[in-house]
A and B are shown apart, each in its own frame.
Chain A
Amino acid sequence: MAKKIEISNLRVRYGQKEALKGVSFDVHKNEILGVVGPAQSGKTTLLKVINRTIEFIPGARVEGTVTIDGDNIQSIKNVNELRRKIGMVFPLPVGLPLSIYDNVAFAPRAAGLRDKSKLDELVERCLIQSALWDEVKDRLDSLGTKLSGGQQQRLTIARALSHQPEILCLDEFSIAVDPVTTMRIEDVLKELRSEVTIILVTNLVQQARRLCNRTAFILNGDLIEIDSNEVMFSDNPAQKMTYDYVHGNFG
């Protein structure tokens, strides 16, 4: 398996608090990597390091290296180029105060795409992939912020796909989405695997189990175990803590 992202000895501190305590692992090309672990274990921090939005948090200090396709992300000159490579979906949906169409077209336009027909095509494809197209295709010029919570979440997924990222990071994407739609999005993710590498942070252990190729278990800033799903969800993963966590008898 080719390596898409290599993370080595990554440490992140917010002031005195250490959010990640030196984790190292690789993300393979075209896989879905699940990241599970209880709250405050550093899962979201991990994603923010990868697209360097951690730099917007005052007092955050990052040590260690993260490389994408062999390039150290810290040495990438154009940070916006890096962020365009990565699609991000965070748990709280934020529809931009623009029309639904403009919400999805925002990133391609920012990257310089002006061609109307290409934009139309792209917007439609992203909305179909995020399972939102059928609900909004007749009102693309109404406000994205007026959609319901679950629809806004799918809008953010469409937005994350709109700049055709190589890596897609999903942080609890299904938190505001109903189970049926979640399943539809999961199907899309399985299809997308051939084009993009996906990191799926989730609190739903079963979601990681049915969707991911490999799963990482992070606890209090330490990587406890990372392995293929066959091992992680078997009766004897390398760490007993992993077994306890995925089987729900933790703590």
Chain B
Amino acid sequence: MSTSATTSPNPVTLDPQTRFRETALVRRKKFTEKLARLTFLTMTLLMIFPLLLIVSYLIYKAAPILSINFILDNPVRGMRAGGIWPAFLGTLYLVGISLLVSAPIGVLAAVYLNEYARENWFTRIINLAVVNLAGVPSIVHALFGLGAFVLFAGMGRSILAASLTLAIMTLPVIIASTKEALGAVPTAFREACWNVGATRWQTIRRIVLPNSISGILTGIILQVSRAAGETAPIMFTGAVFFKAIEKGDIFAYGLFDQSMALSMHLFTISTQVPNVPEALPYGTAVVLLGTVLLVNALAIVLRVYLRSRKKW
């Protein structure tokens, strides 16, 4: 180091006499540091600002109509008044059933791909397929669901067919995010387990899953908002324009019934029905947003709890 100091192009900063003095270089570095910090801060604020604007605007517009009865009532007078209960319950059914199908399959498939599968042409094709499926537009999934579930499997346009279509749509993303979470567990832990004669399953159960569960759950729950918000896949496969059901009865739908859904309802009352009071679509949007945010908040609480138990 001493030789490089003497040949340094900038010997001034290394001279003990002047080393801590504020030279032009130091001032420039300070300025750059401030500039970088400010840029990143601005970008962060830029991101928060529209979000706050959207939410507050929605709530402002929806305020006159928001009440518990708005959620629990059927729409009346050609959907120009009343509540959104059938759509709200329909969305809960669709999202719940679709995740009930896609989460176990997705997580187990990801465990296989990440923990068991050897690297060969077959697993490479599967991984490629997963990545590409995650990028397929939802309207294409809708067509697939129409062909596969509604027509071929004979489910008709029903909650089941729509949920399965949503499941197919969310599956690849769940696989990808679960693989990500599993991959974040250091390989050294696995090797340490194998070295003492633990089987792959013992290793997965005792070490890998407990340390990746928070990431896995995050991935799954992010798909709740996606499944709740998509209109295209359910429009072809099970969601209907209007269907009155028993007020406040959470078992009002059967698996093979058609249902309303919040996203679809929002679309119809905003564009298809004339003379809808302005607050109605905004109210619907707030309920949709609120439901998704509630689920996300739950996920955050769960994640904080699980991360507090994380062991390294």
Q: Please report A residues at the B interface, Cβ cutoff 8 Å.
A: 51, 53, 56, 58, 80-84, 87-88, 90, 92, 94, 96-98, 106-107, 110-111, 143, 145, 156, 159-160, 162-163
In the docked arrangement, what's the CA distance between A96 and B198, Å?
13
Interfacial chain A residues near B118, Cβ < 8 Å: 58
Does B312 contact A159, Cβ atoms closer than 8 Å?
A: no
Partner among A53, A92, A97 whose Cβ is within 8 Å of the Cβ of B194: A53
Does A106 contact B191, Cβ atoms closer than 8 Å?
A: no
Interfacial chain B residues near A53, Cβ < 8 Å: 191, 194-195
Interface membership of B311, Cβ < 8 A: yes
* 10 residue pairs bridging A and B, Cβ less than 8 Å apart: A58-B119, A90-B195, A92-B188, A94-B192, A97-B189, A98-B311, A107-B197, A145-B311, A159-B192, A162-B196
> Which residue of chain A has its CB nearest to the CB of B211?
A97
Interfacial chain A residues near B312, Cβ < 8 Å: 97, 143, 145
> Which residue of chain B has its CB nearest to the CB of A107?
B196
Q: From residue A140, how far is it (CB to closest CB) to chain B in Å?
A: 15
Partner among A80, A94, A97, A159 whose Cβ is within 8 Å of the Cβ of B191: A94
In the docked arrangement, what's the CA distance between A172 and B190, Å?
20
Query: Within B183-242, which residues are at the interface with A (CB < 8 Å)?
Result: 188-189, 191-199, 202, 206-207, 210-211
In the docked arrangement, what's the CA distance between A143 and B312, Å?
8
Partner among B197, B206, B207 whose Cβ is within 8 Å of the Cβ of A83: B197
In the docked arrangement, what's the CA distance between A81 and B188, Å?
21
Interfacial chain A residues near B191, Cβ < 8 Å: 53, 56, 94
In the docked arrangement, what's the CA distance between A87 and B192, Å?
11
Does A163 contact B196, Cβ atoms closer than 8 Å?
A: yes
In the docked arrangement, what's the CA distance between A81 and B312, Å?
29
Q: From residue B211, how far is it (CB to closest CB) to chain A in Å?
A: 6
Partner among B119, B195, B311 whose Cβ is within 8 Å of the Cβ of A97: B311
Interfacial chain A residues near B195, Cβ < 8 Å: 51, 53, 83, 88, 90, 160
Interface membership of B28, Cβ < 8 A: no
Interface membership of B124, Cβ < 8 A: no
In the docked arrangement, what's the CA distance between A159 and B118, Å?
28
In the docked arrangement, what's the CA distance between A51 and B195, Å?
8
Interfacial chain B residues near A82, Cβ < 8 Å: 197
Partner among A81, A98, A143, A160 whose Cβ is within 8 Å of the Cβ of B196: A160
Does B211 contact A84, Cβ atoms closer than 8 Å?
A: no
> Which residue of chain A has its CB nearest to the CB of B309?
A97
In the docked arrangement, what's the CA distance between A92 and B186, Å?
13
Interfacial chain A residues near B193, Cβ < 8 Å: 96, 106, 110
B147-159 vs A, CB cutoff 8 Å, 1 = contact: the mask equals: 0000000000000
In the docked arrangement, what's the CA distance between A77 and B177, Å?
35
For the A-B complex with A53-B194, A96-B193, A143-B311 known, give 18 more contacts whose Cβ atoms are closer than 8 Å.
A53-B191, A56-B191, A56-B194, A80-B198, A83-B195, A83-B196, A83-B197, A94-B191, A96-B189, A96-B192, A97-B211, A106-B193, A107-B198, A110-B199, A111-B197, A145-B311, A159-B196, A163-B196
In the docked arrangement, what's the CA distance between A94 and B119, Å?
25
> Which residue of chain A has its CB nearest to the CB of B200?
A80
In the docked arrangement, what's the CA distance between A198 and B112, Å?
36
Interface membership of B247, Cβ < 8 A: no
Interface membership of B19, Cβ < 8 A: no
Interfacial chain A residues near B211, Cβ < 8 Å: 97
Q: From residue B119, how far is it (CB to closest CB) to chain A in Å?
A: 6
Query: Within B252-296, which residues are at the interface with A (CB < 8 Å)?
Result: none
Provided the pairs A97-B211, A98-B311 are in contact, do residues A81 and B189 lie with their beta carbons within 8 angstroms?
Answer: no
Interfacial chain B residues near A97, Cβ < 8 Å: 189, 207, 210-211, 310-312
Interfacial chain B residues near A90, Cβ < 8 Å: 195
Interfacial chain B residues near A159, Cβ < 8 Å: 192, 196
Does A84 contact B196, Cβ atoms closer than 8 Å?
A: yes
In the docked arrangement, what's the CA distance between A86 and B188, Å?
18
In the docked arrangement, what's the CA distance between A156 and B192, Å?
9
Interfacial chain A residues near B192, Cβ < 8 Å: 94, 96, 156, 159
